[in-house]
Amino acid sequence: MNSELLITDRHLSEQWNMFLSSILSHPDFKMLSDHVLNAYNHQVVYPPLSLLFNAFNACSPNDVKVVIIGQDPYHGPSQANGLAFSVHAGIKFPPSLKNIFKELSNDITGFEMPLTGDLSPWAKQGVLLINATLSVQAGLPGSHQKFGWEKFTNHVIQRLSDTGQNTVFLLWGQFAQSKSEYIDTSKHLVLKAAHPSPLARGAFFGCKHFSKTNDYLFAHGKSPIDWTLV
């Protein structure tokens, strides 16, 4: 393994490299890179390295209107595609994603259960679907949580809060809600609900986060998100 290689090399867009330059140049990020690249060299890791920063590369930092925060990628074969809660087309919907679609069906007029769980159309409209930990060993949820990913993703959230205006942050479950300390609620909308997992406590159904997001974006001169998926 080339000890000078960073996980951002050839994998993170120039815009995000510039936007995150302060954290990317920090020694802690070099340590994170070493851990992650070593894992990819010696383990089966999801998502594929080429999709590690898919959530970022699908939209530029200046285009982010909505942030949805997950915990870590799906750890099953062929599921994770670098977007939180999303799966590749043709893959069976995990329970959390199925519940997200159920809430959308009840919240957004005309939304129908899609044939695909690929959420990249949302990302292309400015929805940053980011996991707090961006990689995971196959079959071992949470296995990369001690690599240092959270310092990186917390920085991402804070930078988006500091530099943006009228962004919507959807925080589902206690883990995501702990990230609220990095968000300036005086200039952004933070919506909280239970995690969409069937195992979670509290109410996710009926939160109407998707319509509330669009109402807020429209009220602040931004185009709403088309939540439908073909």
Give the HSE-up count for residue 78: Cα atoms under 13 Å, Cβ half-sphere.
7
| pLDDT, tens digit (0-9, with 9 covering 90-100), for 26-69 | 999 999 999 999 999 999 999 999 999 999 999 999 999 999 99
pTM: 0.94
pLDDT at 3 over 50: no
User: Among 1, 191, 196, 210, which Cα is nearest to 125's?
Assistant: 210
Mean of the per-residue pLDDT values for the chain?
A: 94
pLDDT above 60 for 75: yes
Cis-peptide, bond into residue 47, ω within 30° of zero: yes
pLDDT in tens, 188-210: 999 999 999 998 877 899 999 99
| Residues whose CB falls within 8 Å of the CB of residue 74, separated by 6 or more in sequence, listed in order | 46, 80, 87, 94, 136
Q: What is the mean pLDDT of residues 177-196?
A: 96
Where in the sequence numbering do the catalytic residues fall? 72
**pLDDT band at 100, cuts 50/70/90?**
very high
Question: Token match 């968000």: residue?
Answer: 183
Residue predicted with more confidence, 9 or 133: 133
- From the list 224, 5, 223, 205, the residue with the least C-alpha distance to 105 is 205
31 vs 21: CA distance, rounded Å: 16
Among residues 138, 4, 106, 129, the alpha carbon closest in space to that of 56 is found at: 129
Strands 168-172 and 189-193: parallel
Question: From CA 39, how far away is CA 144, in angstroms rounded?
Answer: 9
In angstroms, the CA 82 to CA 74 distance is 9
Q: How many CB atoms lie within 10 A of CB 217?
A: 20
CA-CA distance, 72 to 84, in Å (whole number)?
A: 8
For 179, counting Cβ atoms within 10 Å of its Cβ (0-12 exposed, 13-18 middle, 19+ buried), the class is: buried
- The pLDDT of residue 200 is 80
pLDDT score for 4: 53
